[in-house]
Amino acid sequence: MFYEDKKGTFRERNFSLAHGEEGGPLDRPLVVQFCANNPEALLVSAKHIENHCDAVDINLGCPQEIAKRGRYGSFLQDDWELIYTLINTLHKNLAVPVTAKFRIFTSIEKTVEYAKMLERAGAQIITCHGRIREQRGQNTGIASWDHIKAVKQAVSIPVFANGNILYHEDIQACLDATGCDGVMSAEGQLYNAALFAPASHPHPPSSTSDLPRPTALPPNLPALPRTFDPPLSGLHPRHADLALEYLSIVSSLKTPTSLSAIKGHLFKFMRPALSHEPDLREKLGRVRASDLKLALVEYREIVTEMKARMDRAAEEAEASGKPWDELITIEPTTGLKILPHWLAQPYFRPSKSREPLTNPQQESVDAKTTTNHDSEPLSSTG
């Protein structure tokens, strides 16, 4: 779609160059990710944005049905020759590095050979998501750090780990367990945008007057003293404060933000409280404004009211004198910490039971279709 967009409307909607914000000085470092199954189309698309980013990433990990229908993401992982060509084409023809994000196979051995092929193809950083293709939705389950560790030990390029990063303390635990060079989180940051911030980091401002916003938007409520924070290593701000900061950022940009994206982000930010405040959940779902400025007015009114309620809930809890170990509960099926509903926190889908992840007899590298020559792709029919 990006490749065939003759009018440029799809490109502008997905990577806007009109206002100089996407890929601009404040948007760096920036890695632009593409889904693709055609090397020529991928190269043309990447050439369009290579001067506006620091690297181009190929998505080899998407497990969704749309990726299956379009034959991209993790549904390419059985066609190693094509994957090699996709990466190598960019590696030889772009002025910026090419990286790749991928999912594991059931066997560690096949996963390692796959990662080594990505390195030979020219990927200069790889991100290993420690879940197999079938682990999605209710079957998401736990990512295998053992697979990621094996990948890191097998290649010479930087490896980022992806999976099981729910709390700040998981970052160091993952680095220690895998030996990786970095950690990536996707869904976790949709629920707590401060996931990578330590507890000592300043909280998001309740007043965002330093960011330009339409004058029609009501002012934010004043910030409360931050003396009532959970005893955790990471920052868990009040989610309504995060949501207000997010709306102010959206308001400050010339590049328009999709209305559906804004609503989706707000639902995730405030998820812990929406079951406690069903009227606000209903109001949020009913926002139908087609104009961005009008929609932002409605969204800010809802989030401002949510902030007032969450601040009251926090004040009442603090006044009760309850210790934090009574305010933080443990979810029985996952063992995860559930924080008070006014705080940003992870969301974890309970997993259905499944077979152990590593089963060498179930999957192996086909020796007939592999080669050790650096200039040749390593392919697999398994």
Give catalytic residues, as residue numbers. 62
Other C-beta atoms closer than 10 Å to the C-beta of 42 total: 23
Task: List, as one string, the DSSP characters of 143-189.
Answer: --HHHHHHHHHH-SS-EEEES---STHHHHHHHHHH--SEEE-SHHH
Q: Which helix (H) or strand (E) holds 81?
A: helix 80-93
252-290: burial string, b at 16+ Cβ within 10 Å, e else: eeebebebeebbebbebbbbbbbeebeebbebbeebeee
Q: In the structure encoding, which two tokens stand for residue 234, read together?
A: 């990471």
Burial class (CB in 10 A: 0-12, 13-18, 19+), 36: buried
64, 136 contact by CB (below 8 A) = yes
Neighbours of 229 (CB within 10 A): 15
Type of residue at 126: I
Contact between residue 41 and residue 71 where contact means Cβ atoms under 8 Å apart:
no
Tokens 């944005």 sit on residue: 49
Q: CB-based contacts of 179: which residues, under 8 Å, 6+ apart? A: 149, 152, 153
For residue 126, what are the β-bridge partners?
Answer: 100, 159
